[in-house]
A and B are shown apart, each in its own frame.
Chain A
């Protein structure tokens, strides 16, 4: 379905030095499968997603979608061919409503499906359809609206960048159920989820671990989770400042 052939990406910094942030990735994502991509922050997960969407251009290598070389194509052209990327931090638009964005994602969507899509991400259509996708929405609401657009678009390749970030636990469970129902059982679609969430990783058919711009491990969630579990848990301890918690106790 989607083939990455020796993809690398080099970026320059202010001092004029070049750094390779994606390093020689070869991988073929198959139709009918849900892939998880995980790994430490700064490992290149989002950069890889943006390379697939055409937001970044590789400095080397080719990208094929259903055997067509899409490397030179623009974002819009790739979108029209059936790739979608759900942003990690979706931008806000003053004056565009939730309904507008879903209508752009799925031109001509009927009212029933529009409402169902919002319900699938845990938003009440009555409250949200006419809301501005502007500063009045929380980060969690923005993420759910982003997911709603992705669901509505029904692209052949859907890349979701930390769809669970900022979303409450109840909605994550619902979101997982929707991904399983809509994507996992559909033999035509390829789904790529960038995530650190254990529950999310466990619905994936295959999990890839990215580190320093390379794919360092691949396997089933059961194989991969024990290896990455410590790192993710350790990170959490760092974030919640273990020392402070200890002193309070």
Chain B
């Protein structure tokens, strides 16, 4: 796999990848797969009817990490991809995804990833997805991920979805169904700046008895950017769910935060917390009294908040 400097940097930023990773991997650059390997426990095969792949983890396969990053460096490209992740019974793996866009042109670059996760009984998955955009042109960097998750009995998934910086427009739609004794923890961290716009819509259905779901969102909106966050928890049995959205607002930005709880069963226990506020003056003063400048204090607070 030959990469230029821009491509290597993007891969390093979104997936912490340097050189060719060991084991199963799928790297997609500018709309086509450039590297694809399977491993004994994880098979990656292309879809036959549309762009994308099926990643299948064999039952009982444990401890592997697979990287599936996407990068876009060609301006004006609109990339659409359908990926399915099927995690076999009792398997336990980590998937590192992510999308990086470099666009220095006046044309928009867009990647729409449609991801489906099927977790078979008692499987366990950690999924990390980082989104990042760079380049000084007027062309927008657009990322619209759609994520569907099905968690079977006793399975669990921890999803960490992060938008680091530089994404001009994003609409993230996530739908989750949780079976009995299934557990989902979804962590979303998002930073917007300039005149960026970000929208995240989460619907988490806790269908099964003793299922549990958690949505934790932390975001920072700077300058003139706008964010809308909607998270609905729908409790349909004897289950527990919690939504937490916490935002730092700066400059002339706008944040709309809408946690929603829907109980369709009297045994469901659902809670939510939401907070939007600017950085407290006391926090800045405290860090400045330890020798940081005001700007360093702001950066430190934001970095910690989004970590």
Residue A55, interface by CB 8 Å: yes
Answer whether A76 and B283 are a contact pair too, CB < 8 Å, given A94-B304, A95-B306. Answer: no
B291 touches A79 (CB 8 A): yes
Establish whether residues B288 and A75, one from each chain, have CB atoms under 8 Å apart when the complex forms: yes
A91 within 8 A of B: yes
* A76 and B282 form a contact (CB under 8 A): no
- Render B279-298 as a binary contact track against A, CB cut-off 8 A, 1 for contact: 01011011111111110000
Does A199 lie at the interface of the complex (its beta carbon under 8 Å from any beta carbon of B)?
no
Interface size on B, residues (CB 8 A): 22
Report if B195 contacts A (CB, 8 A). Answer: no
- Chain A residue contacts of B305, Cβ below 8 A: 93-95
Query: In the assembled complex, how far is the CB of residue A50 from the closest CB belonging to chain B, in whole angstroms?
Result: 9
Q: What chain B residues lie within 8 Å of A90 (beta carbons)?
A: 286
Whether the pair A100, B304 counts as a contact (CB closer than 8 A) is yes
A36-53 CB mask vs B (1 if < 8 Å, else 0) is 000000000000000001
Say whether B300 faces chain A, with CB atoms less than 8 Å apart: yes
Whether the Cβ atoms of B301 and A85 lie closer than 8 Å is no
The complex places the Cα of A174 from the Cα of B286 at a distance, in Å, of 25
A151 at the A/B interface (Cβ < 8 Å)? no
- Residues of chain B lying within 8 A (CB to CB) of residue A104: 287, 290-292, 300
Residues of B within 8 A of A153 (CB): 290
- Taken together as a complex, chains A and B put the C-alpha atoms of A104 and B293 apart, in Å, by 12
Q: B290 to chain A: which residues have CB within 8 Å?
A: 79, 84, 101, 104-105, 149, 153
Known interface pairs A84-B290, A91-B280; A75-B304 also in contact (CB < 8 Å): no
Residue with the highest number of chain A CB atoms closer than 10 Å, among B246, B289, B291: B289
Report chain B residues within 8 Å CB of A97.
Answer: 304
Contact between B291 and A80 (Cβ–Cβ < 8 Å)? yes
Instruction: Tell whether A87 is near chain B: CB-to-CB under 8 Å.
Output: yes
Contacts of A91 in B (CB 8 A): 280, 282-283, 286
User: Which chain B residues lie closer than 8 Å to A105 at the CB level?
Assistant: 290-291
- Is residue B307 within 8 Å, beta carbon to beta carbon, of the partner chain? yes
Interface centre among A74, A79, A100, A105 (most CB of B within 10 A): A79
Residues on A with C-beta less than 8 A from B285 are 55, 75
Majority SS at the chain B contact face:
helix
Q: Check if A96 is an interface residue, CB within 8 A of chain B.
A: yes
When the two chains form their complex, are residues B288 and A74 in contact, meaning their CB atoms are under 8 A apart?
yes
In contact, B286 and A87 (Cβ under 8 angstroms): yes
Nearest-neighbor residue (CB-CB) of A74 within chain B: B288
Contact with A along B131-151 (1 / 0, CB 8 A): 000000000000000000000
Q: Is the beta-carbon distance between A96 and B282 smaller than 8 angstroms?
A: no
CB distance from A200 to the nearest CB of B (A): 21
CA distance A80 to B289 in the complex (A): 9
Contacts of B288 in A (CB 8 A): 74-76, 79
Chain B residues positioned under 8 Å from A93 (CB to CB)? 283, 301, 304-305
Q: How far is the CA of A153 from the CA of B287 in the complex (A)?
A: 12
Closest chain-B Cβ to A158's Cβ sits at a distance in Å of: 11
Give the shortest distance, in Å, between A94 (CB) and chain B (any CB).
6
Is the pair B286, A76 in contact by a Cβ cutoff of 8 Å? no
Q: What chain B residues lie within 8 Å of A101 (beta carbons)? A: 290
A53 touches B306 (CB 8 A): no
State in angstroms the CA–CA spacing of A100 and B300 once bound together: 10
Distance of A149 Cα from B287 Cα, bound (Å)? 11
Write the residues of chain A forming the contact surface with B, with a CB cutoff of 8 angstroms: 53, 55, 74-76, 79-80, 84-85, 87, 90-91, 93-97, 100-101, 104-105, 149, 153
Chain B residues with CB under 8 Å of chain A are 218, 246, 280, 282-283, 285-294, 300-301, 303-307
Please provide the 8 A-B residue pairs with the shortest distance between their CB atoms, ordered closest to farther: A95-B304, A96-B304, A91-B282, A79-B291, A75-B288, A95-B305, A76-B288, A91-B283
Could you list 25 examples of A-B contacts with CB < 8 Å?
A55-B289, A75-B288, A76-B291, A76-B292, A76-B293, A79-B289, A79-B292, A84-B290, A85-B289, A87-B282, A91-B286, A93-B301, A94-B218, A94-B246, A95-B303, A95-B306, A96-B300, A97-B304, A100-B300, A101-B290, A104-B290, A104-B291, A104-B292, A105-B291, A149-B290
Q: With A76-B288, A84-B290 given, can you name 16 additional A-B contacts, CB distance below 8 Å? A: A75-B285, A75-B289, A76-B291, A79-B288, A79-B289, A80-B291, A84-B289, A85-B289, A93-B305, A94-B246, A95-B218, A95-B303, A95-B306, A95-B307, A104-B291, A105-B291
